[in-house]
Amino acid sequence: MNIAGKTAVVGLGQTEFSKNSGRTELKLALEATLAALRDAGIEPSEVDGFSSYSVDKVPEYEIARLLGCKEVNFFSQVPHGGGAACGPLLHAAMAVATGVAKTVVVYRAMNERSWYRFGTGSYGFSDSPIFQHVNYGWYMPHGFHTPAGWIGMFAQRYMHEYGATTEDFGRISVAARDFAATNPNAFFYEQPITLADHAASKWICEPLRLLDCCQESDGAVAMVITSAERAKDLPNKPVYINGAAQGIAPGQQEMTSFYRPSITGLPEMGIVAKRLYAQSGLTPQEIQTAVLYDHFTPFVMPQLEEFGFCARGEAKEFVRAGHHARGGKLPINTHGGQIGEAYIHGMNGIAEGVRQVRGQSVNQVENVKNVLVTAGTGVPTSALIVSDQEAE
């Protein structure tokens, strides 16, 4: 069976995004979940399924207990952090489409900035035989220990092979901050930047500058997924899940897939793209806007290529023409992305996809029918297509 068009996002809720929420992750999760359920017009006690993804430390049973859920039949947590972002919607769609659950809440709640900070380069790895310690033991002793560093290794090779420049990375950052500047929920509201600002920002890890890196943020986002049939009876315009997929490609590792024959593409994203287009029956030309995961600007470029918006190695021409920016032929990250709005590990990008289909984005693109949303790059990943009509 094909899950396309069988389910819909019917409720959306989120907290404010900040650098210090001042409350627990559990509280954030409940605020977002309750807001999503109110938005959907569904009683909290009706929820019978949950899905989130790793690094989120809020257990679904505690949310269920506090929501007063009567019977919960489905729960999952997808691995690989940001790469998992669209995974919970795939899981929810599968659960609802197969009758395992009726009403699934997907959520993300983290005090990433005030409690963890992924960018510090200190993760407490030791010399134990546990796989993660063996795996990252190839890098940590050399001081090669930040996500920006790992991404930089791919970016340097991408620039070398395709002639892209750090200025091209800057174009992605400038476009994101332009959208953030008109989004009151964005941390960088009313703070656009120029290419000169980008070029003047300090090196984090050559070839990445500060303004190539996303923020670190506190906040939560939640959504409610139910059947397409039921969605028609609920208050909001249904946002149909017409494609959802996860992907691991040959030679895959988590941030360190340096050993593949080529390291300039994102083959796991290619696998996901193929699946999404097959599920939805859509082509790249039928996508009006996309949310492409932007933890770091360089990996936005191979995503444009893997999803067929341009040919391999030609994303630089795409961004030089401004196709990705406000008014372009495929505006991306209209909420400001994780660079401009907030780093909620991709879940805020899915929220923007939902708003674009509903016609409620502060940077609304005209005549949106289908929105592509991707998840974290460089890791086992996921993506989805949400639409205003059910897939055939």
Nearer residue to another protein within complex by CB, 137 or 192 = 137
Query: Tokens for 117?
Result: 């900070």
* Range in contact with another protein (rule: CB under 8 A) among 12-20, 118-126, 274-282, 353-361: 118-126
Considering only CA atoms, which of 264, 268, 239 is closest in space to residue 251?
Answer: 268
* 297-326 footprint of another protein as x/- string (CB under 8 A): ------------------------------
Q: Which residue type sits at 351? A: A
Looking up tokens 């028609």, which residue turns up? 232
What are residue 12's DSSP bridge partners? Answer: 223
CB atoms under 10 Å from CB of 273, counted, come to 24
Instruction: Say whether 370 sits in a helix, a strand or coil.
Output: strand
Q: Give catalytic status of residue 343 as yes or no.
A: yes
* Range in contact with another protein (rule: CB under 8 A) among 15-23, 173-181, 183-191, 205-213: 205-213
* 71-110 footprint of another protein as x/- string (CB under 8 A): ----------------------------------------
Name which position in 2, 54, 77, 135 contacts another protein (CB under 8 A). Answer: 135
Nearer residue to another protein within complex by CB, 61 or 203 = 203
Q: Give catalytic status of residue 293 as yes or no.
A: yes
CB 291 within 8 A of CB 372: yes
Name which position in 11, 83, 87, 207 contacts another protein (CB under 8 A). Answer: 207
Q: Which helix (H) or strand (E) holds 228?
A: helix 228-231
Name which position in 41, 68, 141, 359 contacts another protein (CB under 8 A). Answer: 141
Q: State how far the Cα of 303 lies from the Cα of 245, in Å rounded to an integer.
A: 15
Choosing from 107, 139, 240, 293, the catalytic residue is: 293
Of 183-202, binders to another protein (CB under 8 A) are 202
* 337-376 footprint of another protein as x/- string (CB under 8 A): ----------------------------------------
Nearest distance from residue 366's CB to another protein, in Å? 40
Looking up tokens 């005549």, which residue turns up? 367
CB 377 within 8 A of CB 153: no
Q: State how far the Cα of 227 lies from the Cα of 231, in Å rounded to an integer.
A: 6
**Residue 214: CB partners within 8 Å, gap ≥ 6?**
294, 295, 296, 337, 338, 339, 343
Which residues here bind another protein, judged by CB under 8 A? 119-122, 125-146, 149, 152-154, 156-157, 160, 202-207, 210, 256, 258-259, 263
